[in-house]
């Protein structure tokens, strides 16, 4: 199972209906063939409605899934896909099952992320929306402090050598 959350670059979700923030699921049921499976959209909670068929290809330990943007509710523009892979869940609809049964990647409630287009990230902000300049200033001050400390130690060693002669 591939669980998908789609978010526009402004942070707005493509769909309000979701299960634990995931709006779509691929391969919830056994695939129809060796190359076709189903994409479903959440109707709220662990209730799913078929969106359409999607192509996939499995080879060795690799899996490729082809999902048109339009099937994810994205026509154009910048967007982010957060996703998670789950296998062998024992209790459908129970998010805590990610911690107990089967395989899930990434672990627990974490998600992988793919960003399409040109996301707008202010140059002076980190992912928490806080300015990075105080950290840069602290780092610079620490570097200067280390350099001054090293110079003082070097001078003391030189003075000690002169007195010991």
pLDDT in tens, the chain (165 residues): 888 899 887 777 888 899 999 999 999 988 889 999 999 999 999 999 999 999 999 999 898 999 998 999 887 778 889 999 988 888 888 888 888 877 888 887 789 998 887 665 555 555 555 666 676 777 777 777 777 777 777 777 766 666 666
Q: Could you tell me how many helices (H) and strands (E) the chain has, helices first? A: 2, 8
Maximal CA-CA distance, the chain: 89
pTM score > 0.75 for this model?
no
Q: Which helix (H) or strand (E) holds 114?
A: strand 112-116
Whether the bond into 141 is cis, omega within 30 of 0: no
Residue with tokens 């996939």: 56
Residues in the chain: 165
Contact 88, 102 (CB under 8 A): yes
Residue with tokens 């943007």: 69
């Amino acid at each position: 199972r591939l669980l998908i959350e789609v978010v526009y670059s402004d942070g707005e979700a493509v769909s309000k209906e979701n299960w634990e923030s995931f709006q779509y699921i691929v391969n919830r049921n056994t695939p129809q063939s060796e190359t076709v499976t189903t994409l479903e959209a959440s109707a709220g909670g662990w209730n799913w409605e078929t969106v359409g068929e999607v192509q996939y290809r499995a080879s060795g330990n690799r899996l490729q899934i082809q999902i048109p943007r339009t099937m994810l509710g994205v026509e154009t523009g910048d967007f982010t896909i957060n996703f998670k892979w789950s296998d062998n869940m024992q209790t459908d609809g129970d998010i805590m099952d990610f911690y107990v049964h089967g395989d899930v990647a990434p672990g627990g409630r974490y998600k992988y992320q793919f960003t399409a287009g040109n996301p707008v990230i202010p140059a002076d902000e980190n992912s928490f929306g806080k300015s990075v300049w105080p950290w840069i200033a602290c780092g610079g001050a620490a570097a200067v402090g280390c350099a001054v400390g090293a110079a003082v130690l070097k001078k003391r060693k030189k003075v000690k050598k002169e007195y010991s002669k």
